[in-house]
Amino acid sequence: MSEEIKAPEKKKRIFSAIQPSGTITLGNYVGALRNWVRLQDDYDCIFAVADLHAITVRQDPKEFKKNILEAYALFLACGIDTEKSIFFIQSHVHTHAELAWLLNCYTQFGELSRMTQFKDKSAKHADNVNAGLFTYPSLMAADILLYQADLVPIGADQKQHLELTRNIADRFNGIYGKTFTVPDAYIPEVGARIKSLQDPTKKMSKSDENVNAWVAILDKPETIMKKFKRAVTDSEARVCVGEGKDGINNLIGIMGSVTGKTADEITAEFEGKGYGDFKTAVGEAVVETVRPIQDKYNKLISDKAYLEEQYRKSAEIALRISQRTLDKAKKKIGYIL
């Protein structure tokens, strides 16, 4: 008797989006983008440049347009593969804005007012506390629910938003019957949490006024080396993980994240060597990591026709998938389609 042929197991779907901020830091790459690339073989991945979310803060039109295209090219350069994944620009798929409005009406005012990011951003942009800043978690929910995503890769600062997305989906499903998949968090393997090179108690962030505190993926090699040579350390002059050694702990974490070496291996390698040698080695390892990304980015950004072909193709597929969900939700509510 011939063996029964089993149908291939359906892959779980992942959705994730990143705003086009104009600069991707080493921390962004290690913490998010590199994980996106790794997920592509094992999951049905849908990724987006979240340009609709970006306008809760006032944008310069020329700079904004440039940032969107550069972000798209850079994500491709980092390894997003449009043969394996759907990768589009959010504003090109109108269902996001449409479902966001519907979900606004199934999101409670109290839920939105408890969002810590709203409080933080309101304080930072006190002259522009707009309604979008308040309701953008409903847009985030729409982004995820449109694609019936099973999993959403999140960091610690996004747990609250995913919980709200789950609440909105449960509420809608409870009223109208099963409409949306209730997504779970995808917590990637814990890698190094990249900290500021000048204040290693804080996360590496491009909003840091001290440009030596963060490394951009597109920084020139000499700039990267200069930033690492200026990195804050301590007075012990011994390369090892330890209490009160935040600067060295951070550099060991960075070295490990770009080379795959463990903290013990790094400690053994630099036994008896000074911090100067170590900082140079970390800088060189980072330069070698970003070099192929920079080379690919430079080719892509000069080929606007190719970029347009990729984001248009993905947007068409994303629209087909998301329209089914939007129509389903509208029918449940009672709209005439």
CATH of the domain at 322: 3.40.50.620
Residue with tokens 């440039």: 66
Let me know whether 21 and 166 are in one domain. Answer: yes
| 206 DSSP 8-state letter | T
Range of the domain at 23: 13-191+304-333
Q: Picking from 73-87, 158-172, 181-195, which range would have the lowest pLDDT averaged per residue?
A: 181-195
- 203 classed as catalytic: yes
Confirm whether 8 is domain-assigned: no
Quote the pLDDT of residue 126.
Answer: 79
- 195 classed as catalytic: no
Q: Over 60: is that where the pLDDT of 280 sits?
A: yes
Is the CB of residue 19 less than 8 Å from the CB of residue 54?
A: yes
Let me know whether 51 and 108 are in one domain. Answer: yes
Task: Express each pLDDT in 22-53 by its tens digit.
Answer: 788 998 898 888 888 999 999 999 999 999 99
Confirm whether 4 is domain-assigned: no
Let me know whether 185 and 75 are in one domain. Answer: yes
Q: Picking from 110-124, 137-151, 258-272, 311-325, which range would have the lowest pLDDT averaged per residue?
A: 110-124
Residue 311 binned pLDDT confidence (cut-offs 50, 70, 90): very high
Quote the pLDDT of residue 2.
Answer: 45
Q: Which residues contact 268 (CB under 8 A, 6 or more apart)?
A: none
Confirm whether 200 is domain-assigned: no
Is the CB of residue 314 less than 8 Å from the CB of residue 82?
A: yes
Summarize the confidence of residues 147-160 as an average pLDDT. 87
Q: Picking from 105-109, 130-134, 268-272, which range would have the lowest pLDDT averaged per residue?
A: 130-134
Residue 1 binned pLDDT confidence (cut-offs 50, 70, 90): very low
- 121 classed as catalytic: yes
| 238 DSSP 8-state letter | -
Confirm whether 217 is domain-assigned: yes
Confirm whether 163 is domain-assigned: yes
Q: Which of 112, 120, 129 is nearest to 58 (CA)?
A: 129
| N residues, the chain | 337
Quote the pLDDT of residue 5.
Answer: 55
Let me know whether 180 and 287 are in one domain. Answer: no
Quote the pLDDT of residue 10.
Answer: 85
Catalytic residue among 203, 229, 296, 330: 203
Catalytic residue among 84, 206, 261, 313: 206
Is the CB of residue 37 less than 8 Å from the CB of residue 80?
A: yes
Let me know whether 313 and 271 are in one domain. Answer: no
Q: Over 70: is that where the pLDDT of 191 sits?
A: no
Quote the pLDDT of residue 35.
Answer: 85
Q: Over 80: is that where the pLDDT of 225 sits?
A: yes
From CA 66, how far away is CA 5, in angstroms rounded?
A: 50
